């Protein structure tokens, strides 16, 4: 696909941005009482209020023109039609099939994938019921009380995020633990807490070649063998993977195996059997409600006109902020503690998808692509890094997320959370004028000299772009909608930028180097790489 920068639509946006930047949001709202309503869209129980973005009607028109000329509509259709849009790996991209709750077949090369998807869901349902009811139990006949998910990246982040987000729905008799990191701390801590006879390990790995996952799984396996005997792992391990051979080698019995397909990317896989641990923790009904929420967002993305299409609007606004207003990062700020791992989940989703500099036809981009994504729950974040957001020199766009009805045991506290969320959105948009600051300082009796000195330090420029994503309550369906919303936002951006959102070649190099360094770190004296000489000396000196 051609370079977007050369398109007249792009150039018009660039010219337009120069004008919009100069216009304070304070003025935009003052001169247009209908602005909040005009730049808000509701879909199901989600409201996207993007009135505090640095835009006007013309911006939207120009962005929608850009979407049209970049072929966003055919690109969306191509994804749902099972075309091989992941061109570098020649794969279809069908996480939407995993949550397709309609009768519509979804085909790859004329083959409907839905029967396999439904069979997998049925197997998950049976397995979850078996574990919850005690029909499936440990080697000594005891029911499972603990599930340990072993996986990393897409085989971990979605599980952690979703089970934390939906903690109010957790099954009473089953605790979930997630182990991802390679350094041995998590697996050590978890094994310290659980009883072997009552613990089920779910090893999740699309490839089943991932160093972190395999080494943690081996530790867990040995731990079970040491305590319950050679035959016990067959009862204490389940696995999710595309790699049947590796599952044979790991001696996972057929009834405990759950499939994955090469048309599901790791970071898009929480909807697949990778969600088994979610289903075990929350129940299959809750998991399927999440799928329904995702499906609803898919329908919306596929059919809604672009000017009312939430993921399309969010994707286009992200392009606007990144390419035309120079925003380097997006801070995701959920005002619900239950969503505390949502920013981490989005980091993989957005940054692994759109952190690309090459186009599928082998060219290099000469424009910015994916922004850095980061964030923490409000109001904690306010007391930590908001100073930089309000007055620092970094260019950061903001996504506020908040439920009207709070989670947890004291939902009344949500009034305070919402007050903080809205106050911040207003402060970022409108800042504080010199006149207000002067009035305040004068009322406190400060002399003029001191006021002039303090003024720039107190001045709060405003005009920091943000969106507020308000929803009624955080339940499984809403979570499904939110995840799918961001997934499709990511795809929208990738289409505008002309990059492949579904491969991740950049992560390979580090993995390969790590493998080759294991023996060197074991025997630092064998190191021949001068760049590592200093570090290896200290490994040898300090290792106990």
What residues are labeled active site?
Answer: 352, 383, 511
Burial 435-450 (b: 16+ CB within 10 A, else e): eebbeebeeeeeeeee
Pick 52 or 91: Cβ nearer ligand G6P: 91
Look at residues 322, 328, 330 and name the one whose alpha carbon lies nearest to residue 347: 330
Pick 4 or 154: Cβ nearer ligand G6P: 154
Q: Footprint of ligand G6P on this chain (CB under 6 A)?
A: 152-155, 205-207, 210, 213, 266-267, 352, 504, 507
Pick 184 or 461: Cβ nearer ligand G6P: 184
Look at residues 221, 144, 134 and name the one whose alpha carbon lies nearest to residue 179: 221
Least Å from the CB of residue 241 to ligand G6P: 8
Least Å from the CB of residue 425 to ligand G6P: 33
Least Å from the CB of residue 269 to ligand G6P: 7
Least Å from the CB of residue 507 to ligand G6P: 4
Pick 149 or 323: Cβ nearer ligand G6P: 149
Pick 152 or 289: Cβ nearer ligand G6P: 152
Least Å from the CB of residue 483 to ligand G6P: 15
String of DSSP letters for 209-237: --HHHHHHHHHHHHHHHHHH-TTTHHHHE
Residue count of the chain: 544
Within 13 Å, how many C-alpha atoms sit on residue 111's CB side? 8
Pick 25 or 152: Cβ nearer ligand G6P: 152
Instruction: Classify 512 as helix, strand or coil.
Output: helix
Pick 510 or 534: Cβ nearer ligand G6P: 510
Euclidean distance between CA atoms 93 and 445, whole angstroms: 65
Least Å from the CB of residue 412 to ligand G6P: 39
Six-digit token pair at 201? 């390990």
Least Å from the CB of residue 236 to ligand G6P: 20
Q: Which residues contact 457 (CB under 8 A, 6 or more apart)?
A: none
Least Å from the CB of residue 508 to ligand G6P: 8
Pick 14 or 507: Cβ nearer ligand G6P: 507
Euclidean distance between CA atoms 237 and 234, whole angstroms: 6
H-helix or E-strand containing 42? strand 40-43
Give bridge partners of residue 112 from the DSSP assignment.
107
For 146, phi then psi, to 5°, come to: -135, 135
User: Alpha carbon of 470 to those of 95, 125, 291, 403: distances in Å?
Assistant: 25, 32, 20, 6
Look at residues 417, 414, 428 and name the one whose alpha carbon lies nearest to residue 386: 428
H-helix or E-strand containing 161? helix 157-165
Euclidean distance between CA atoms 525 and 536, whole angstroms: 8
Least Å from the CB of residue 411 to ligand G6P: 34
Beta strand residue intervals within 186-311, DSSP E: 199-204, 237-241, 257-259
H-helix or E-strand containing 282? helix 276-282
Look at residues 484, 465, 503 and name the one whose alpha carbon lies nearest to residue 59: 465
Pick 46 or 161: Cβ nearer ligand G6P: 161
Euclidean distance between CA atoms 504 and 493, whole angstroms: 16
String of DSSP letters for 350-411: IIIHH---B-TTS-B-SS----EEE---TTGGGGTTHHHHHHSSS-EEEEEEEEEE--SS-G
């Amino acid at each position: 696909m051609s370079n977007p920068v050369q398109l007249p639509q792009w150039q018009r946006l660039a010219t337009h941005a120069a004008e919009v930047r100069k216009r304070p949001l304070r003025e935009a709202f003052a001169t247009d009482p209908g602005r909040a309503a005009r730049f808000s869209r509701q879909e199901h129980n989600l409201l996207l209020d993007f009135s505090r973005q640095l835009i006007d009607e013309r911006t939207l028109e120009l962005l929608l023109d850009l979407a049209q000329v970049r072929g966003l509509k055919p690109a969306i259709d191509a994804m749902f039609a099972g075309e091989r849009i992941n061109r570098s790996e020649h794969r279809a991209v069908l996480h939407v099939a995993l949550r397709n709750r309609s009768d519509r077949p979804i085909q790859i090369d004329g083959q409907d994938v839905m029967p396999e998807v439904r069979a997998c869901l049925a197997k998950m349902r049976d397995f979850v019921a078996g574990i919850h009811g005690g029909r499936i139990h440990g080697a000594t006949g005891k029911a499972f009380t603990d599930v340990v998910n072993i996986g990393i990246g897409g085989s971990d982040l979605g599980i952690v995020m979703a089970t934390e987000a939906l903690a109010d729905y957790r099954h009473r008799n089953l605790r979930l633990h997630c182990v991802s990191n390679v350094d041995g701390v998590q697996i050590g801590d978890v094994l310290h807490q659980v009883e072997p006879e009552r613990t089920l390990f779910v090893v999740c790995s699309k490839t089943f070649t991932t160093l972190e996952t395999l080494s943690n799984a081996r530790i867990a396996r040995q731990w079970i063998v040491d305590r319950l005997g050679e035959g016990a792992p067959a009862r204490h391990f389940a696995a999710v993977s595309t790699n049947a051979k590796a599952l044979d080698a790991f001696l996972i019995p057929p009834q405990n195996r759950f499939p994955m397909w090469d048309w599901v990317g790791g970071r898009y896989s929480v909807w697949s059997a990778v969600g088994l641990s979610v289903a075990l923790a929350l129940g299959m009904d809750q998991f399927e409600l999440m799928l329904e929420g995702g499906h609803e967002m898919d329908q919306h993305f596929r059919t809604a006109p672009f000017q009312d299409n939430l993921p399309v609007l969010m994707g286009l606004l992200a392009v606007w902020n990144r390419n035309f207003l120079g925003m380097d990062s997006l801070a995701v700020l959920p005002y619900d503690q239950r969503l505390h791992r949502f920013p981490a989940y989005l980091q993989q989703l957005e940054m692994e998808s759109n952190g690309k500099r090459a186009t599928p036809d082998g060219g290099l981009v000469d424009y910015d692509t994916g922004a850095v994504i980061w964030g923490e729950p409000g109001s904690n974040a306010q007391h930590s890094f908001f100073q930089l957001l309000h007055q620092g020199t970094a260019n950061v766009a903001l996504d506020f997320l908040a439920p009207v009805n709070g989670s947890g045991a004291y939902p009344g506290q949500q009034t305070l959370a919402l007050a903080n969320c809205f106050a911040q959105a207003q402060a970022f948009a409108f800042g504080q004028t010199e006149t207000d600051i002067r009035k305040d300082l004068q009322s406190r009796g400060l002399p003029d000299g001191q006021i002039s000195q303090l003024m720039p330090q107190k001045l709060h420029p405003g005009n920091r772009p943000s969106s507020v994503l308000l929803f009624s309550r955080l339940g499984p369906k809403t979570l499904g909608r939110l995840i799918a919303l961001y997934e499709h936002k990511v795809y929208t951006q990738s289409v505008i930028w002309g990059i492949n959102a579904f491969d991740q070649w950049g992560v390979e190099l580090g993995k390969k180097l790590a493998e080759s360094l294991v023996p060197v770190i074991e025997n630092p004296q064998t190191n021949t790489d001068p760049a590592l000489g200093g570090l290896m000396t200290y490994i040898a000196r300090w290792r106990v």
